[in-house]
């Protein structure tokens, strides 16, 4: 039977599902988050099953013994085996059995037992930790050469650049909106009273409603504010406030500074503008690889003083390479996703 055909009693006896609820790891967490996002109609059933498993977990709740825990699940497992091995025909004079299978009776027992445990906890003072299924996390990743636009439930609009990834809860908390970014994105945060926090590595960007660009790469982090106000906190406890048209740069060594910035150069990418502003050869080739999803091979020695400035909107890779070649004298050869640049 496939997971999409499962009812609550099936989830309660599935070892892979139980392992995810009790001991989530990278593999099962990724699988179940993706599966639930593709089968939203099963979310409520999954939540109920997870709640049942957690409520009777031996050491984390009300002190249920290991033997009692095992016995309850064995009742369900044995019922499953009995149903598979036997051909059961309901007694026509007893329609109750034609409605409920043995498995469902066992599952009902488990659920009822959990309700009894909760009642005992309230009446007799037994400490029970109420734990519900964590809000599902949505992850979006763009490979090199691809950009996308995301619209969150609160109205926030996110432009996600190529070679970037963002994660956020499917439903935000009542008091906080939080996302995690790797790479580059432009945020247009909707104002609704709740703080909006962008986590980038060990840094946190806190806003209430604003537009800004965030870029993380091997050199560090750059936050450029277009509109509103943001507060940036780094791992060392430093806190920096930004006003519109200010950019904060945090280097890998922890040093930071503020400066002005050109909006087209920093945020033009979301409007499909590819901008080079006195870019070094390494910056130029890196941006081309990310923008078009290609791999560049260099033949010959390029001067350290080499710089290039240019602006393109929605241009093909061929036209960009032609423009660079025309102004710099470099030769190029384009074959599929491979680019060979040669210094004559």
Mean pLDDT calculated for residue range 86-106: 47
Positions of E strands within the chain: 137-142, 148-151, 157-160, 164-169, 177-182, 184-188, 196-200, 203-207, 211-217, 220-227, 230-233, 239-242, 247-251, 256-259, 273-280, 295-299, 307-313, 331-335, 338-342
- Name the CA radius of gyration of the chain, rounded: 28
What residues does 19 pair with on adjacent strands? none
For residue 4, the SS3 value is helix
Dihedral sign, Cα of residue 80, residue 81, residue 82, residue 87: positive
CATH number, domain containing residue 177: 2.60.120.1440
Separation CA 254–CA 249 (nearest Å): 10
Give burial (CB, 10 Å; 0-12/13-18/19+) of 240: middle
> Do the Cβ atoms of 207 and 192 come closer than 8 Å?
no
**Rounded average pLDDT over 6-15:** 81
Give me the domain span that covers residue 95.
3-124
Of 265, 287, 319, which residue is a domain's last? 265
Going by C-alpha positions, the residue among 342, 338, 343, 303 that lies closest to residue 317 is: 338
Cβ neighbours of residue 147 under 8 Å, at least 6 residues apart?
Answer: 159, 160, 161, 162, 269, 270
169 and 245 belong to one structural domain: yes
My answer on whether 46 and 61 are in the same domain is yes
How much is the average pLDDT of 247-256?
92
196 pLDDT exceeds 50?
Answer: yes
Q: How far apart are the first and last CA of the chain?
A: 64
Alpha helices in 39-171 (DSSP H): 43-55, 66-85, 95-99, 102-124
Q: How confident is the model at residue 306 (pLDDT cuts 50, 70, 90)?
A: very high
Which residue from 230, 227, 225, 284 is spatially nearest to 260, judged by alpha carbons?
Answer: 225
**Same domain as 116, residue 188:** no
Domain end, chosen from 124, 154, 173, is at 124
Containing H/E element for 17? helix 15-22
Closest CA to 12 of 113, 138, 94: 113
Closest CA relative to residue 199, chosen from 173, 175, 168: 168
| Mean pLDDT (the chain, rounded) | 80
pLDDT band per the 50, 70, 90 thresholds, residue 277: very high
Same domain, 259 and 276: no
Least confident of 4-8, 119-123, 226-230: 119-123
Q: Evaluate whether residue 85 is within a structural domain.
A: yes
Total structural domains within the chain: 3
| CATH number for position 321 | 3.55.50.30
> Do residues 250 and 278 share a domain?
no
**Among the three residues 89, 124, 159, which one is the final residue of a domain in this structure?**
124
In a domain, 129, yes or no: no
């Amino acid at each position: 039977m496939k997971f999409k055909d499962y009812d609550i009693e099936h989830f309660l006896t599935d070892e892979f599902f139980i392992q995810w609820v009790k001991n989530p790891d990278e593999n099962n967490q990724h699988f179940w988050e993706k599966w639930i996002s593709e089968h939203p109609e099963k979310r409520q059933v999954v939540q109920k099953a997870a709640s049942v498993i957690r409520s009777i977990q031996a050491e984390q709740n009300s002190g249920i013994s290991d033997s009692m825990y095992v016995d309850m699940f064995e009742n369900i497992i044995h019922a499953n085996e009995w149903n598979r091995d036997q051909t059961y025909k309901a007694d026509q004079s007893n329609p109750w059995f034609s409605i409920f299978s043995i498995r469902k009776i066992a599952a009902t027992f488990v659920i009822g037992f959990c309700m009894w445990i909760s009642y005992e906890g309230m009446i007799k003072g037994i400490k029970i930790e109420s734990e519900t299924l964590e809000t599902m996390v949505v992850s979006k990743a763009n490979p090199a050469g691809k950009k996308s636009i995301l619209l969150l439930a609160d109205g926030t609009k996110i432009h996600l650049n190529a070679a970037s990834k963002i994660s956020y809860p499917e439903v935000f908390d009542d008091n906080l909106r939080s996302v995690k970014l790797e790479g580059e994105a432009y945020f247009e945060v909707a104002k609704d009273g709740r703080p909006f926090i962008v986590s980038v590595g060990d840094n946190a960007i806190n806003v209430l409603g604003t537009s800004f660009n965030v870029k993380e790469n091997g050199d560090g982090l750059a936050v450029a504010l277009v509109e509103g106000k943001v507060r940036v906190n780094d791992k060392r406890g430093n806190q920096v406030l930004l006003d519109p048209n200010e950019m904060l740069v945090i280097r890998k060594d922890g040093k930071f500074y503020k400066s002005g910035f050109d909006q087209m150069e920093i945020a033009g990418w979301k409007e499909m503008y590819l901008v080079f502003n006195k870019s070094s050869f390494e910056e130029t080739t890196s941006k081309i690889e990310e923008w078009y999803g290609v791999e560049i091979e260099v033949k010959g020695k390029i001067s350290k003083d080499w710089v290039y400035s240019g602006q393109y909107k929605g241009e093909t890779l061929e036209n960009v390479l032609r423009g660079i070649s025309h102004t710099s004298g470099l030769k190029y050869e384009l074959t599929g996703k491979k680019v060979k640049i040669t210094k004559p």
